[in-house]
């Protein structure tokens, strides 16, 4: 029997192509594992070597999307670590600077899925004038990040789609850094939260945390608040409300509690304690930013959750540490000593307790000085 080697090779080639496609689809359908809410990746222990070799390691990437009625697939690509480290940083900085504008990113995101005319972009992105739009279009066209089709509509060049999506993906993994930058600005401009008086009153942070528990009480949840002073200068505020929500935000792995504690601007429904004469109110995120360390414990949905922070930055993910039938939230924080030189005064807290009791007679407030 005569074998047709060419035909057999063709069959084998087709089988390999089908196998490659199945493996590729399986990889694409797998949800990336996340070690914590900060997207920390597991680090495999490697053998100890005397000198690190920048050629050891690579970044692999590929993609498949449906854009403008077409299925676009990019073959797996590789960038070695030494290639990335040897990149021309001046040119890379120019690219990031060109894209480091909200309106330009909005334009590219808008035309990614469908070509749009100038007037459609103005309307969709709520831009005030076409002149404002064309200023950005000129820069993007000049950088070959946009093309203008025959009908006058603007589109993202197909060969730029994957790099742009990879850039958005990387930005998504670094998105929490924007919150931490704002928290650093909060520390650098702490005077905006304390008014023109000399020095920062440490008790204002405590009143702001208590205000969140009072807000929960006035919403019909919880009738007990406890304040506990500790020997190390920290303080705990605990209540028996519903407990801060722990589910992830939409399209994110970040739990609601982390956003409440790190996003200075996002959660306007969080209680804000306003110091007389101050420009801005003190939210729980501001307290976190102005604290050397902070921990939150949440009792909700039959579980006990805990997360640790230092200078406003999460040190752990949201951990499940126990079971309980109780509900509520406990916040323990130690104010930053570089900003607050004084300590909590028990007598002042007692005075505050009397004022709160008069305003909220159905609320039980307990104070303990565990430092004594």
CATH 3.40.50.150 given to domain 60-173: no
Residue in this structure with the two tokens 């399986």, named with its chain if needed = 26
**pLDDT, position 45:** 46
pTM: 0.68
Residue 81 near residue 57 (C-beta atoms within 8 A): yes
Which of 169, 161, 163 lies closest to 32, judged by CA? 169
pLDDT digits (tens, 9 = 90+) for 332-359: 999 999 999 899 999 999 999 999 999 9
Residue range(s) occupied by CATH 1.10.10.10 in the chain: 60-173
**Tens of pLDDT, residues 48-71:** 444 555 457 888 988 888 887 778
Residue ranges in the chain modelled with pLDDT below 50:
28-50, 54, 269
Task: List alpha helices for 149-246, DSSP H.
Answer: 158-173, 175-188, 203-218
Return d(Cα 12, Cα 23) in angstroms, integer.
16
Considering the chain, what is the average pLDDT of its residues? 84
Asked if residue 326 lies in contact with residue 296, where contact means CB atoms within 8 angstroms, the answer is no
**Contact yes or no for 368/337 (Cβ under 8 A):** no
Query: Tell me: the pLDDT tens digits for 17-49?
Result: 565 655 555 554 444 433 344 444 444 444 444
As its CATH architecture, domain 177-369 has 2-Layer Sandwich (3.30)
Query: In the chain, which residues fall in CATH 3.30.565.10?
Result: 177-369
């Amino acid at each position: 029997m005569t074998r047709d080697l060419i035909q057999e090779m063709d069959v084998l080639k087709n089988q390999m192509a089908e196998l490659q496609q199945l493996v590729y689809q399986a990889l694409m359908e797998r949800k990336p594992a996340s070690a914590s809410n900060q997207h920390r990746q597991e680090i495999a222990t490697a053998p100890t070597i005397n000198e690190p070799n920048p050629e050891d390691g690579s970044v692999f990437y590929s993609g498949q999307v449906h854009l403008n009625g077409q299925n676009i697939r990019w073959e797996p690509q590789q960038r070695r670590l030494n290639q990335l480290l040897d990149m021309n940083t001046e040119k890379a900085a120019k690219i990031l600077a060109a894209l480091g504008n909200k309106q330009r990113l909005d334009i590219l995101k808008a035309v990614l899925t469908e070509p749009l005319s100038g007037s459609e972009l103005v309307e969709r992105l709520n831009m005030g004038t076409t002149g404002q739009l064309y200023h950005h279009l000129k820069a993007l066209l000049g950088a070959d990040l946009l093309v203008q089709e025959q009908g006058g509509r603007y589109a993202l060049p197909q060969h730029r789609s994957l790099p742009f999506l990879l850039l958005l993906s990387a930005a998504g993994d670094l998105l929490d850094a924007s919150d931490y930058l704002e928290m650093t600005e909060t520390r650098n401009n702490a005077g905006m939260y304390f008014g023109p008086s000399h020095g920062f009153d440490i008790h204002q942070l405590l009143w702001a945390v208590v205000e969140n528990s009072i807000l929960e009480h006035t919403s019909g949840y919880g009738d007990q608040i406890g304040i506990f002073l500790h020997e190390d200068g920290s303080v705990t505020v605990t209540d028996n409300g519903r407990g801060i929500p722990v589910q992830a935000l939409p399209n994110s792995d970040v739990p609601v509690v982390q956003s409440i504690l790190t996003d200075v601007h996002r959660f306007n429904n969080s209680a804000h304690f306003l110091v007389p004469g101050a420009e801005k109110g003190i939210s729980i995120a501001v307290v976190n930013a102005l604290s050397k360390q902070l921990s939150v414990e949440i009792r909700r949905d039959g579980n006990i959750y805990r997360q640790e922070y230092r200078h406003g930055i999460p040190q752990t993910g949201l951990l499940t540490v126990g079971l309980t039938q109780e509900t509520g939230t406990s916040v323990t924080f130690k104010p930053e000593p570089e900003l607050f030189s004084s300590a909590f005064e028990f007598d002042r807290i007692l005075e505050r307790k009397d004022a709160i009791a008069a305003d909220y007679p159905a609320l039980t407030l307990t104070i303990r000085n565990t430092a004594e």
